[in-house]
Structures are given as C-alpha cells and as structure tokens.
Amino acid sequence: MNDGVGTAQRALALLDLGRPAEAERLFRQALVGDPANADLLGHLSRAVLIQERYAEARDLARQTLAADPEDLNGLLVLSAASAGLKEFPAAVSAVEHALRIAPGHPAIHRQKGAVLIAQDRAEEALAPLERARALDPEDAQTLATIGAAYLELRRYSEAERAIAEALRLDPDSIQAHQNRGLLELRRGGGKSAVEAHRTALRLDPTDQYSREGLAIAMKSRNPLYGQFLRFGDWVNSLSSGARWTILLTPIIASRILRPFDDRLWAQVTLAILVALVVLSWSIEPLMNAVLLCSSYARNLLPRETKLATYAFLAYLAAAASSVIVGLTVESDAALILAGCLVLWSISAGQTHLVDISRRKIAVRLQVAGALIAAAAAIAIALDASFTNAALPVFFLLGLAMLWFTAFA
C-alpha cells in the first residue's frame, strides 16, 4: 500500500513538472492495487486530458465520478474533455455541478469561462473569468484565459495587457505564450509570432497547438502571407452578409466592368482582382510546400496538412506535364486540362482547412477529381470525340470545388 502511495506521489510530481505521459504510467501502476480510488482516477484523467486524448479523459472522469460523484477534479476534467469533443451540454452540466459544490473555487469559474469561449460566447465568458480572477488574482492561467477571451472579441489592447500580466505571474505559461503568438498573428505575424510560438513549443514539445501555431507563424514571415492572414481575420469578424459581399466582389466587379471591357483600365482592374483571388486561395498550399522543404518545419505540419500539400503538388505536376504535352503536340484539349488541374490543385491544397465535419466529403471529392483527371488524360491521348465537351464540365467542377473548400 505504501508503495502505491509513493508511486502516486511520484506521478503527481511528474504531472506538476509537465510530464503527463510519464505520470500516466505511474498512475496506472498505482491503480492496479486500488482500481476504484477516485483520487487516482481523477489524476489519471487529468494526465490523459493534458495529452489531448479527450474521449479517454472523459471516460476516466466518468469513472472518477462513479466512485465519488462530488469529486471536483473529475468534474473539471469531464467538463474540459467534453468541451474538447464539442459535447457542450455535458461540459456545461459538469461545470455547473461543480459550482454548486464549491462556488468559491476559482478553477471552476475559469473552466466555465473556457467552455463559453469554446462555444463562441467570449463576451459571456468574461464574467466567470473575472470572478475567478477576483478569487485568485495571482493565477496566471486565469489571466491567460481572459486574454484568450479578448482575442476572440478582437479587443487586442486588452488581450495584450492580460497576456502580459499572465507572463509576469508565470513566465513559463504555455497558454500565455500561445495567446501572445496568436495576438501577433492577428497583427500580421512575423518574427514576434515565431518567437512566441517557439517558446510555447520549447516548454512543451508535444503540444499540438504550439506546433501548428509555430508552422503558421513561420509562414507569416512572408509579408504577403501575413497580410492575407490579417485580411482573413478581418473578413471573419464581419457579418455573414458582409463576408459574402467581399467574397463575391470579383464576380460583381466583372459584371460592372463588362460594358468597359475594351478599356485598358477596366482590363487591368479585373486582372488585378482575379490575381488577388487566385493568390489568396493558393498562398496557403504554396507556403506549406515551402515548409515541406525543411525537415524541422515539415514535422510541425499535421498529417492532414501534409497530405493536402502533396495533393496540391501532384496536381501541379500533372498540370505542368499537360502543358508540355499540349505545346509539343499542339493539343488545345491538353492545355485546357492543365487549367482544370490548376483549379483542382488549389482546392486540394486547402482540404485541411475544411471543417472537420465535412473534411471526409472534401477528400472523397478530391479523389473523384483525380480519377476524372486521369480519365480525361487517357481520353486526350486516345483523341476521344467526347473530350472537348467533357473538359468544360471538369473546369466548372473545379470552380465548384474551390468554392466548397472556401466555405465548407
């Protein structure tokens, strides 16, 4: 029994040192001798939660609460894990239950604020977060979460003050460094964003958000990418109607400029608009392709991003080959196919940005597009009669796929 207690104590020390994987192993060892121990189950669920295994953490938290229905640690983990899984009713229920048990516990008020932020209710989150701050003014995590709420509300000066105060209280706060990096990205990125995310990653090399944030920050060192990043953030802050108006501006402009299509200024204006649209859609996969050239940066990219970028490059290689064939044998169909492939390459390079609930659909559509492209190439090689009629349809499908990836 004493050995089990010692194992649990060592596990807690490792958890406090930010080594949850090692702590998890020791907690599981301690549980062998006392499998229904609510404290051990609660600590184990927290170690698993820190590793972002939300479903497993949720299930362990439920086991904790089965052993002790009023275990605060179990309720907090259940709330956080449920929010990570976007099971918000369960997350809210758990945190409200905890508040009824211990209304003066600052961590519970902070968790309520975090759940509200995850639900895109940052304005409402400020009240419980300020309550948590009043109960414990020296808690850096609360200040970092307040900074996250202000970031969501785009109140950047207030976010900056909250983040700075969090870092004053705890210079090693991973969340505060991540938020500082996000703040710099909202302002256009560059060196300061890289520095903040690199510091967060140094503090926890396994943290997924720090890795992805550093990858974006490294891309933002390209001034053009940084400007598009700021523009995208500004567009997202607008109402749905305003966003649609901006996104449809090139189409609206082409209609307005049609009576003047013989004028040079109109042609230049339309060309610039089209170039900006193409660049805004292609700069993400282009910058990811640049990161793939570095072994360090390549390891920062999630698997989905790498696959999307490889698909982008494969489509581009196919387009280049189609251009070479078209020019060599003077085939207009091959040149048209190249244009279609470029459209599909841009949409493929953004597949990882599609909402996770629709990502499988996007991947299946890309696979279908690749099969159609292969069939079109074979038809061109065989000089099939239906090719000229089929290619415009493939081109329109490519345009539709671009819009799908942009809005899905």
**Residue 19 backbone dihedrals phi, psi, to 5 degrees:** -125, 70
Contact 147, 162 (CB under 8 A): yes
d(CA 212, CA 189) in angstroms, rounded, equals 14
CB 143 within 8 A of CB 162: yes
Report d(CA 344, CA 322) in Å as an integer: 14
The dihedral through the CA atoms of 130, 134, 136, 139 has a sign that is positive
pLDDT score recorded for residue 3: 56
pTM (2 d.p.): 0.80
What is the DSSP code (8-state) at residue 120?
Answer: T
Biggest CA–CA distance in the chain, Å, is 89
Nearest CA to 20 out of 60, 75, 62 is that of: 60
- Secondary structure (DSSP) of 10-39: HHHHHHHTT-HHHHHHHHHHHHHH-TT-HH
Report the pLDDT value the prediction gives residue 405, as an integer from 0 to 100. Answer: 86
pLDDT in tens, 220-263: 998 888 888 888 788 777 777 777 777 777 778 878 888 887 78
Give the separation between CA 373 and CA 370, rounded to whole angstroms. Answer: 5
* Rounded Cα gap, residues 281 and 344, in angstroms: 11
Phi, psi (deg, nearest 5) at residue 191: -60, -45
CB atoms within 10 A of CB 83: 24
> Rounded to an integer, what distance in angstroms lies between the CA atom of residue 192 and that of residue 181?
7
In contact, 49 and 57? CB cutoff 8 Å: yes
Residue ranges of the chain whose pLDDT lies below 50:
1-2
User: What is the tens place of the pLDDT at every residue in 6-16?
Assistant: 788 888 888 88
pLDDT of residue 1: 43
Helix, strand, coil percent values for the chain (each to nearest 5) = 80, 0, 20
Q: Which two tokens stand for residue 358?
A: 């629709």
pLDDT in the model for residue 408: 66
Instruction: Write out the two tokens for 198.
Output: 């690199």
